[in-house]
Amino acid sequence: MSYRAPVEGYKGKIVEVVIGKGDRAVKIGGENILAFNQTFDEGEFPNPPKIAFEVWDMEPQGWAPWVLEPYKDVVSDPAAWAKRCEELGADFVYLYLISADPNEKDTPPEQAAELVRRVYEAINIPLIVYTTGNEGKDPAVLTKVAEVLGGENLLLGPVIKEDFEPIANAAKEHGHCVVSQAPVDINLQKELDVKLARILPREKIVLDPLASALGYGIEYCFSVAERTKHVGVMFEDAMMQMPIIANFGAEVWKNKEPKEREELGIAWEEVTAISYFLAGANILVMRHPEVFNVIREMIS
């Protein structure tokens, strides 16, 4: 008599979020099973995890030469850099507006928004726009970005508890999605999500519980991301049923070990990426194209 493993289904479902519009629209979420419980007797996983490549709005400093190598001829032009990421096969471009931070170049919101427009017009894939989490400056920058790219359905973030209202209202007015970011704490995440859901529908919200690198707190971050997905799918908590973004590329490559040797750094980012893939992340933000190729093959 053959053995058949028991089938366990869940009633909870991650909401489906669409980022971008028209031909460049990409769907994430929509699953009612946990990552790698994908016999499909148990449920559905209609939208496989997607991968974003990181692009800075200023020439990066301190990057390991092997990370910079694939982009070295375009890093002075964010639009060309974004186009290179599209050519490499990325599902999204993750544009980091680091220069807008008052502790960097303090780029004015209008200038930052015009750069976002230029990057957006250079590519044919959806755009994720992140600021640095400065509660004093971020609302002005992301509000202006939302206005200038009105109707293009960007993913804007991070939205934190100190500045969620103006950014969420701008996203609602101009037709964008937002990233709800809480500092590795499920209770704080849910508290912020409840507030955001009074302004935006859940189909316009993505969760960022923060993602650290292998060896630098990944166990805790993995557990929180995995538990967030459990609460949404297994226990049907509507405020935890949004897709998850894991932004770990910068966390990996800022550390001493990945900077010392290329093959070590690639392995470091691969293991980190696989960990968040297993935890249930719907978008993985990474840097090295070789890592992208490995994770893309796993997803396919």
CA distance 101 to 241: 31
Give mean pLDDT, residues 95-100. 98
Indicate the range of 34-43, 49-58, 141-150, 177-186 predicted with least confidence. Answer: 34-43
**Cα angle at 227 between 224 and 229, to 5 degrees?**
115
Count of H-run helices and E-run strands, the chain = 11, 10
* Average pLDDT value for the chain: 95
Its pTM stands at 0.96
Give mean pLDDT, residues 10-26. 96
Contact 252, 67 (CB under 8 A): no
Residue-wise pLDDT tens digits, 191-242 = 999 999 999 999 999 999 999 999 999 999 999 999 999 999 999 999 999 9
Q: Where are the domains of the chain?
A: 48-299
pLDDT band at 3 (very low <50, low <70, confident <90, very high): confident
pLDDT band at 36 (very low <50, low <70, confident <90, very high): confident
Scan for tokens 């849910």, then name that residue: 190
User: Which CATH class for the 48-299 domain?
Assistant: alpha beta
CA distance 176 to 162: 20
Give mean pLDDT, residues 283-296. 96
Looking at residue 246, the DSSP 8-state letter turns out to be: E
How high is the pLDDT of residue 39?
60
pLDDT at 185 over 90: yes
Nearest to 155, CA basis, from 115, 108, 192, 120:
120
